[in-house]
């Protein structure tokens, strides 16, 4: 009887460990460490604040892999050729990275953290003779990221549908459609392909 109880308990423990291992096994895999990441836009990134949009024709996620397996991947984002609310705009990154987490929730969505030890946030400055908008996006967690593997070439499509972002409008003049203050209804949508020379994939098992 004692042996039977021991075997039952052992089986339960093994099952629990296996379940835990499976739940936490999501990871990014690549053929080698220190591979440079390159990105290409599939769908133009759109950042919306209170119904008004910021769009950029160029978005770069610069970084490199840290090993053949990793539970997160950090990149340094930058944007060029931007317009905001119909005005020419400059998007400036003040020391921030975006860290994509491999683990996903029940809906298959992952987190991406805007932060870093020297991160002060992003600034969007839209300005012309008709008015000026000045926005600050501070470090915070993005939800709503989804990963899709492409088999040939071996790369990852990163789909983002993020809601509830917090933005601080510090200046609004002329035709700027935003009011000064904190807006907590900002959204971000994009679809970007992340690649390496040797290939990178997302393993959710």
Q: Pick the more confident residue, 203 or 151.
A: 203
The pLDDT value given to residue 108: 87
Residue 28: the pLDDT is 94
Q: b/e string for 3-22 if b means 16 or more Cβ within 10 A?
A: eeeeeeeeeeeeeeeeeeee
pLDDT classification of 34: cutoffs 50, 70, 90: confident
pLDDT band at 10 (very low <50, low <70, confident <90, very high): very low
Percent of the chain scored above 90 by pLDDT?
A: 70
For 168-200, the pLDDT digits (tens) are 999 999 999 999 999 999 999 999 999 998 899
Confidence class of residue 152 from pLDDT cuts 50, 70 and 90? confident
Domain locations along the chain? 27-203
Q: Please name which of 135, 155, 132, 158 lies closest in space to residue 145, comparing C-alpha atoms.
A: 158
Q: What is the 3-state secondary structure (H, E, C) of 152-184?
A: CCCEEEEEEEEEEEEEEEEEEEECCCCCCEEEE
Nearest to 61 by CA among 178, 196, 170, 194: 194
Whether 106 has a pLDDT exceeding 90, the answer reads no
As a whole number, the mean pLDDT across the chain is 86
Please report the pLDDT score of residue 25 as a whole number. 80
Q: What is the pTM of this model?
A: 0.83
pLDDT at 167: 96
Q: How far apart are CA 188 and CA 183, in angstroms?
A: 14
Q: What percent of the chain has pLDDT over 70?
A: 88
Cβ neighbours, 10 Å, residue 197: 13
């Amino acid at each position: 009887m004692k042996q039977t109880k021991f075997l039952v308990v052992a089986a339960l423990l093994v099952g629990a460990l296996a379940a835990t291992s499976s739940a936490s096994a999501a990871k990014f895999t690549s053929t080698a460490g220190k591979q440079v990441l390159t990105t290409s836009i599939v769908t133009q990134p759109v950042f919306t604040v209170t119904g008004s949009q910021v769009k950029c024709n160029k978005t770069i996620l610069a970084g490199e892999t840290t090993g053949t397996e990793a539970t997160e991947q950090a990149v340094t984002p930058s944007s060029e050729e931007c317009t905001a609310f119909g005005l020419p705009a400059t998007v400036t990154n003040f020391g921030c990275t975006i860290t994509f987490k491999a683990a996903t929730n029940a809906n298959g969505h992952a987190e991406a953290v805007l932060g870093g030890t020297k991160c002060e946030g992003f600034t969007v400055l839209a300005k012309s003779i008709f008015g000026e908008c000045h926005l600050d996006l501070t470090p915070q967690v993005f939800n709503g990221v989804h990963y899709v593997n492409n088999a040939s070439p071996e790369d990852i499509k990163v789909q983002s549908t993020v809601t509830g972002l917090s933005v601080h409008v510090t200046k609004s003049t002329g035709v700027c459609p935003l009011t000064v203050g904190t807006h907590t209804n900002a959204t971000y949508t994009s679809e970007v392909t992340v690649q390496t020379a040797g290939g990178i994939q997302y393993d959710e098992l």
